[in-house]
Structure 1
């Protein structure tokens, strides 16, 4: 669809097409997780009619007043201090005109940043979720944790598009683009495998993480400075004495050579 078209345009037709296919794969309950672009009454009404399908949708505050929600948190004495200058409150309420649904809202008030710099006036922000999951089975904190994985999958999409430069496919022919995507998938998997080694103790110094972005893998391992030297009837790759990524490169090369 055109890039200017809203993501929710025609989304109900997509649900009607996709949900029967998902149901054909399993007879277990399904949890549908959607971002705030799909926070629409029509979507919720349709999903409430489906059997064994629960949903978790990021709430779109639209014209909500953050200060009004801060007053609600104050009335319920729901504040918790996360750090000096930052406090949060988690509120939960049933939607009066949509039985079985609840809205969970996290209100955050900051009076200073993480470094201790004071703000001229408090900064109030809202974050919320609407779900059909019953409160006696899934708590508010569990609902927020379920949605936090959504950002992880979005980051994978971002890496595939931006780091591999696939924001736009090169051809108007489906078969050509299909071949490009197949090669990109192979390259993505290879780089992800290489990136697992970049979390070892002898990897180049970076902040602690469970994995590295594809861009980081290419910067650390694909663009290393070296010289190709021909000596003694042999070709040799010569790296600098203080090359930060050499240990990782050597281990990866050894693994590939052993498997070949």
Structure 2
């Protein structure tokens, strides 16, 4: 049974933020990501899968619609669609972040979906389980963010909230990635703390600077003007945690 035009149109509409928020849904693609979702606490509404995927996988209690590779290409957002696409219910964090143990990330105005996805993967790699995002940071359920996390969003909680309010109540050291900071190679590792990473173009917002108790920097040896936000996050986190 072929996908109707209305079905295709509806799935394609979920690539737009307004529709995702209205429906409370998001799209995940590819065998690895869909298989991880099937074993997570996320609820999958519908799976659209080729016969090839279904031959090697099962999903009890989830509606599976068999589609051809041509149909998958019509509803996919990827350059190389891969066997399966799932429509999944969004989750809303219903608990407050707890800063009393370990390192947490605070992201201020990260706009690039690939950067956010990579930062979530970095957090997952280093065992960071919570990330607090400014209200103007790119949305977690953007398809490019979801794909670039490679499943790490399933193990890392994200909150979107006013960062000044968040940092006002934090009772732990607040590290901030700044050009005029102390070298990360001279920083003592905290038992608990927050690392603030600013936007790709503007850095940390001026209204957040008063909350930063420990400005840190990655010493520059060569001639590059700046570092990608995700790369900088990885380097700093590796010195604050390991």
Same topology, TM > 0.5: no
Q: TM-score, normalised by structure 1?
A: 0.21
More helix by share: 1
